[in-house]
Amino acid sequence: MPMKVLIVDDTNTDRLLLKLHLSKLGYRSIEASNGQEAIDQFLEHSQDLDLILMDVQMPYMNGFDAVRSIRKIQEQQKQEWLPVIFLSASAEDDDVEDGILAGGDDYLIKPISQKVLSAKMLAMQRIADMRRRLVESNLVLEELASTDHLTGVANRRSFELMLDREMSFTRRYGVPMACAMFDLDKFKTVNDTFGHDAGDAVLVEVVNRIKGILREGDVIGRLGGEEFGIVLPNIQESEVLAIFERYRFIVAERPVLYEGVEIPITASIGVAMYTGKLEDKAAVLKRADESLYEAKNTGRNKVVYCS
């Protein structure tokens, strides 16, 4: 994808010339005529902007001040670095130094040679490509760090972060939510009888069955071994048992088929409601775990909910 460049200059003819040069080189551009407009355009387009060409001397707000403001916004919002090239008629050493200190990455002297601009844009294209690859790599690493490698659902750390988020939402808006822990019954017997590969296949199949009927916005995560957690935001107490009975039923309704062998499986589920009282996630998980313990000790393959 061609780079998207923000051109900032208070002179219409200078902006037009830059736009024409960039268009010939295959780049997209948007424009601003002063520092404040540049900040506004940055806020609107920051997600797909690759470079800023910033004039220094402009009315209302000069280029140095505009870039300082943009760098501050980037820092506050933890955004990736965005290259900035200052454009100025001044070739004084102090001005070049001030530009770099203000957050610029390069400094070009007007009038700007098309050949020099073309060379600078090629260098910036390399930086933009490298930046995109870095962002993509970071997204992959972030996903790997937050996902259970076997089942593809949230790992424990990620699940607890999402539980924290939903509890904050409940405290703020008073919309109740439910947190459940469920455990596959006698799962050690599955591993001992059919092997660990079969056990892994059972875990994946159970997760897929439940994911297939989760409501939009519901979260499932693997807490460890054969133990999982589910968060149901925006749910009324009267709905809780019916929904989790449905999850229990879909696990138990038919065996898991693995290499021609049918493996029967059931799940015990413990549920805790959260309505916004002063309680942290550890306390909510503990209540869900206590309900799960009761489900396991009173027959398994059941849902236990303590209000």
> Catalytic positions, please?
226
Distance CA 306, CA 284 (A): 11
Q: What is the 3-state secondary structure (H, E, C) of the chain?
A: CCCEEEEECCCHHHHHHHHHHHHHCCCEEEEECCHHHHHHHHHHHCCCCCEEEEECCCCCCCHHHHHHHHHHHHHHCCCCCCCEEEEECCCCHHHHHHHHHCCCCEEEECCCCHHHHHHHHHHHHHHHHHHHHHHHHHHHHHHHHHECCCCCCECHHHHHHHHHHHHHHHHHHCCCEEEEEEEECCHHHHHHHHCHHHHHHHHHHHHHHHHCCCCCCCEEEEEECCEEEEEECCCCHHHHHHHHHHHHHHHHCCCEEECCEEECCCEEEEEEEECCCCCCHHHHHHHHHHHHHHHHHCCCCCEEEEC
Type of residue found at 210: I
The count of other CB atoms within 10 Å of the CB of residue 73 is: 14
Which residues, listed in sequence order, are joined to residue 255 by a DSSP beta bridge? none
Distances (CA, A) of 272 to 167, 175, 215: 12, 15, 18
Task: Tell me how far apart the alpha carbons of residues 133 and 137 are, in angstroms, rounded to a whole number.
Answer: 6
